[in-house]
Amino acid sequence: MLLTGLTASLVPIQSVQAAASSSSKAKVKSVRQAKPAPRSPRKVAARAAAPVREVVPSKPSFGTMYGLHDTEDPLDLKSSVAYVVDQDTNEVLFSKNPSAVLPIASITKLMTALLVVEANQSLDDKIEITDDDKDTEKFTGSRLAVGTTLTRGELLHLALMSSENRAAHALGRNYPGGLETFVAAMNAKAHMLGMMDTHYVEPTGLSSRNQSSAADLAKLVKTAHAFPLIRELSTSSEYTVALGRKQVRFGTTNGLVRKGDWDIGLQKTGFINEAGQCLVMQAQLAGRKLIMVFLDSAGKYSRIGDAERVRKWLTGAASPLAAVATPAAATTVSATALTPVISAK
């Protein structure tokens, strides 16, 4: 207020009188000034001459190319593949294209973590990120610059929680015998677990040649869940590591981990264009331990939405979990079996 009063006192009396006598003109003038200024011919010409950038569509997922998204299901899931099974009884509660073999993206890192933990390598060993750990498949970036040194435990944490590709690659590269031996061990472990539709070519999931089925991945989740360290690191919501002189915070790739209404024992997400959005989880619902697999989901948040739809169904009045003494085959919901009775959408 003091500054305003001082400014007003410095205006000459003649100027004030002139402004008062021509107030109507000022109003008209202000209205005229409010009209938009005409475009500059030079700017218009420059815009017209600017090259038009071609929008390149993203590569379609394998599930899209195979027509799996045309499979209807009673829950209207956005994932072309879905599978829900009781961890203890192996009772299949929901099944949608469970045998389809598709790229699995960073779900791969769950097998990477399993091998590292089973090898009993020291989690305190220092591992340096090198040029060999750069992504030469999709050319993605990373906050782990070449020359960064972290412990094996820190790299394992970042690989499971934040899906850090360089961390996963460095873990495989530092396996006894090197990367080639590690990939061979991944495939040998898959075969031992009965994952006959599964094949790995590298430890990150960036390659679309890392492929599996939902039924196979459920076996992997069940096996990995037996390791407390994998459960702990995969369900961590955030983690801070020292990168040089800076403390850098990493977060989980699965928003459900932060939600208090979910009891998640293990989880892993994944995405590349060829695989779509993917998610595997172990969670407790209605007093039972369940394994959920969602592959090739269309949309950034659709895999989370699908998990919520399944949970709503399983905890609702029509839930098969509420059935008493019902044979497993009768409680199974199969998208393929129900397709004929569902109206087209």
- pLDDT confidence of 321, banded at 50, 70, 90? confident
Contacts of 159 by beta carbon, 8 Å cutoff, 6+ apart: 109, 112, 113, 167, 168, 171
Q: Which of 111, 108, 73 is nearest to 222 (CA)?
A: 111
Neighbours of 162 (CB within 10 A): 20
**274-318 pLDDT tens trace:** 999 999 999 999 889 999 999 999 988 999 999 999 999 999 888
pLDDT of residue 20: 43
Which candidate, 131, 138, 128, 126, places its Cα nearest to that of 163? 138
Overall average pLDDT of the 63-82 stretch? 96
Query: Catalytic residue numbers?
Result: 106, 109, 163
Per-residue pLDDT, averaged over 40-67, amounts to: 64
pLDDT value at 28 more than 50:
no
pLDDT over 60 at 63, yes or no? yes
Q: What is the mean pLDDT of the chain?
A: 84
pLDDT tens for 128-148 read 999 999 999 999 999 999 999
- Whether residue 36 is predicted with pLDDT greater than 90 in this model: the reply is no
Q: What is the pLDDT of residue 332?
A: 55
pLDDT at 29: 42
